[in-house]
Amino acid sequence: MYVSPADLREFATQIFERLGLPDGDAGTVAACLVSANLRGLDSHGVSRIPIYAKRLRLGLVNPRPNLQVSRTAPGAALVDGDNGMGMVVGTRAMAEALAIAREVGLGLAGVRRSTHYGMAASYVLQAIAAGQIGFAFTNSSPGMAPYGGSKPVLGVNPLAVGVPAGQRSPFVLDMAMSIIARGKMRLAAMEGESIPEGLGLDREGQATTDGMQVFGGGTVLPFGEAKGSGLAVWMEIMAGVLTGAAFAGEMRSLYEDFSGPQAIGHLFLAIRPDLFMSREEFARRMDTMIERFKDAEPVPGVDEVLMPGEPEERQASRRACTGIPMAPEIVALLRREAEELGVPFPAASPTPLAL
């Protein structure tokens, strides 16, 4: 089923308003989720609404957090998320990092007492829109064993980096430290699809192609073996140990642990691109670099060399025209949530739209 992005944003906004979020915060969450769908990251899009709604109803997420921001150094601030929605907390923290960077060149914002914050690219896109370089680090609930181990005490701990360019598209890197994100495994299972071999192990440490077996107590495998594992540990240090948030298996699972708030940590870094040259020169140099990379001769079977962020940007352009496709299983879950909250489900078409 295809739904227009605008209708889906309005639907998600109304859902979160009914769940107790202020209008502005509900819109922030909705925008982050629909942005993920637009960019093709459906595992982090509106399919997450039911689990966020459940945690809000259980009182495990604060719909109206009292965000506390304290300046800890000229270039750094600490944000206490008060167990609010991660998208609300993360957006506020990146805004703080950007404001500090405008003032002193670099801005760092550490976050504690937050929750799952959705698509990491949302926050570096915020930096790009402000004309700055952005980094977003987060830890996450246990789902991956450190290299050589069997107990999933690491999260997949995604990293995002965004860099503005000139005439060229910005550089946007958003990646988990696992071969693929855990959410994609869960989404595949919900849609009745198996996952390729070699991506994860079940609870007994056996290889499986059932994404839900990996998601439910098993372990995903890091990309690049020890290299991906090492980067995941680095994310744990930056987002967990450094910020005072939970770390190394202390975070509660979004889907499986309802004993208390998640206690997730984040770290955001903003850098003004004119620290060593003018913004115009920086933009020209970025364009030149990207053009040189894209001019590399593609290998057989590859049509074009793409930069990080280009596939997602093109997907967003397509889906802005066709609408956002959703599997029947996801539509059914969202309709159920809509009926319970008295929110009309948006118009949907079995064929692509012409927006």
pLDDT of amino acid 107: 98
3-state DSSP call for residue 299? Answer: coil
Decide: 207 and 201 in contact? Cβ < 8 Å: yes
- 65-178+226-322 fold: Ribosomal Protein S8; Chain: A, domain 1 (3.30.1370)
Decide: 31 and 18 in contact? Cβ < 8 Å: no
Reported as a pLDDT band with limits 50, 70 and 90, residue 172 is very high
Class of domain 179-221: alpha beta
Lowest mean pLDDT among 29-43, 206-220, 242-256: 206-220
Q: Exposed/middle/buried for 71, CB within 10 Å: 0-12, 13-18, 19+? A: exposed
Question: CATH 1.10.1530.10 in the chain, residues?
Answer: 1-57+323-355
Lowest mean pLDDT among 40-54, 180-194, 275-289: 180-194
Yes or no: is domain 1-57+323-355 CATH 3.40.50.10890? no
Residue 207 main-chain phi, psi, to 5 deg: -65, 140
CB atoms within 10 A of CB 150: 10
- Outline where DSSP puts E strands in 132-257: 133-138, 159-163, 171-175, 200-201, 219-220
**How far are the Cα atoms of 92, 112, 253, 268 from residue 239, in angstroms, in the given order?**
16, 8, 17, 9
Average pLDDT score over the chain: 94
pLDDT of amino acid 197: 81
For the stretch 173-197, what's the b/e string if a residue is b when 16 or more beta carbons lie within 10 angstroms of its beta carbon? bbbbbbbbbbbbbbbbbbeeeebee
Closest CA to 345 of 11, 116, 55: 11
Lowest mean pLDDT among 184-193, 246-255, 291-300: 184-193
Closest CA to 101 of 276, 274, 240, 285: 274
Length in residues, the chain: 355
Residue 180 has pLDDT above 80, yes or no: no
Question: CATH 3.30.1370.60 in the chain, residues?
Answer: 65-178+226-322
Output the pTM of the full model: 0.92
pLDDT by residue (tens digit) across 73-113?
A: 999 999 999 999 999 999 999 999 999 999 999 999 999 99
pLDDT by residue (tens digit) across 269-324?
A: 999 999 999 999 999 999 999 999 999 999 999 999 999 999 999 999 999 999 99
Question: CATH 3.30.60.50 in the chain, residues?
Answer: 179-221
Residues 6+ apart with CB under 8 A from 162: 121, 124, 125, 127, 128, 133, 134, 135, 170, 171, 172, 173, 309
- Counting runs of H as helices and runs of E as strands, what totals does the chain give? 11, 11
3-state DSSP call for residue 329? Answer: helix
Q: State both tokens at 112.
A: 């504690």
pLDDT of amino acid 195: 83
pLDDT of amino acid 186: 74
Identify the H or E element spanning 285. helix 279-294
The runs of H, that is alpha helices, within 105-180 are 121-129
